[in-house]
């Protein structure tokens, strides 16, 4: 019995030399410039448009945080893939490893317009990767260590997928009719001059 207990405890300890920190990255690594748009409409209207777009891609709103600046941080999460793998834990039990995405959307309301900033980060089994943008976005992170051995999903945790999602959403927003809330606000044009504007 003691031998079984010792074996279980040994399996729970990380093996020396076979663990490494999760990549420190974000969507910004793969984007030429930080994704930012100014959209027509109130924060509530823009939030609905963006929420519908994210939901269509399997990303759900998991949290909303009011910021001291007067804006709101919307946090969308989703799972991209799962795989069953033998866990380094007692009795070699099976653990479900999930590779997911977290997209942060900061909405800053103005006079009939709302500025949108986006940041995407990969996640592994519920742990969100750290990034160089964390301080700017008021985020904290506690990076996990993951075993390199037998893990074929590391290439999915780089921020590239999140950058692709954000690029797709920006394209969708830019293609919205100019007389609808959530459409791109044209610089130099007053929101009141937009036909069909919903107050």
Structural domain harbouring 90: 33-188
- What CA–CA distances, in Å, run from 143 to 19, 42, 92, 133, 172? 12, 36, 24, 14, 33
pLDDT per position as a tens digit, 114-154:
999 999 998 877 678 888 898 889 988 766 555 554 456 66
Q: What is the DSSP letter of 184?
A: B
Query: Taking a C-beta distance cutoff of 8 angstroms, is the pair 123, 97 a contact?
Result: no
85 in a domain, yes or no?
Answer: yes
Instruction: State residue 67 phi and psi, 5-degree precision.
Output: -105, 150
145 in a domain, yes or no?
Answer: yes
113 in the Ramachandran plot: left (φ > 0), alpha (ψ -120 to 50) or beta?
Answer: beta
3 in a domain, yes or no?
Answer: no
Least confident of 109-113, 116-120, 188-192: 188-192
Percent of the chain with pLDDT over 70: 66
From the list 107, 159, 199, 143, the residue with the least C-alpha distance to 20 is 143
End-to-end CA distance of the chain: 72
pLDDT at 48 over 50: yes
pLDDT at 113 over 90: yes
15 in a domain, yes or no?
Answer: no
Over residues 52-63, mean pLDDT = 92
pLDDT at 4 over 60: no
**CA–CA distance, 156 with 175 (Å, rounded to integer):** 29
Q: Structure tokens of 130? A: 């750290």
139 in a domain, yes or no?
Answer: yes
Count how many domains the chain has: 1
pLDDT at 112 over 50: yes
194 in a domain, yes or no?
Answer: no
Over residues 163-171, mean pLDDT = 94
Unique residue bearing structure tokens 């044009």: 189
Question: What was the pLDDT predicted at 197?
Answer: 36
Percent of the chain with pLDDT over 90: 40
27 in a domain, yes or no?
Answer: no
Q: Structure tokens of 188? A: 């130099």
130 in a domain, yes or no?
Answer: yes
pLDDT at 56 over 80: yes
């Amino acid at each position: 019995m003691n031998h079984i207990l010792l074996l279980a405890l040994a399996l729970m300890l990380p093996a020396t030399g076979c663990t490494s920190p999760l990549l420190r990255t974000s969507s910004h690594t793969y984007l030429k410039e930080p994704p930012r748009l100014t959209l027509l409409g109130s924060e509530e209207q823009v939030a609905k448009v963006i929420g519908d777009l994210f939901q269509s891609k399997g990303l759900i709103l998991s949290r909303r945080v009011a910021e001291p600046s007067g804006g709101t941080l919307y946090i969308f999460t989703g799972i991209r893939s799962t795989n069953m793998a033998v866990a380094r834990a007692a009795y070699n039990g099976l653990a479900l490893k999930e590779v997911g995405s977290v997209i942060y959307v900061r909405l800053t309301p103005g006079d009939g317009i709302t500025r949108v900033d986006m940041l995407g980060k990969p996640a592994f089994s519920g742990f969100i990767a750290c990034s160089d943008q964390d301080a700017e976005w008021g985020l904290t992170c506690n990076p996990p260590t993951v075993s390199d051995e037998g893990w074929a999903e590391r290439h999915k945790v780089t921020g590239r997928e999140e950058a692709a999602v954000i690029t797709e959403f920006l394209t969708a927003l830019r293609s919205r009719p100019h007389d609808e809330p959530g459409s791109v606000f044209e610089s130099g044009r007053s929101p009141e001059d937009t036909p069909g504007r919903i107050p």
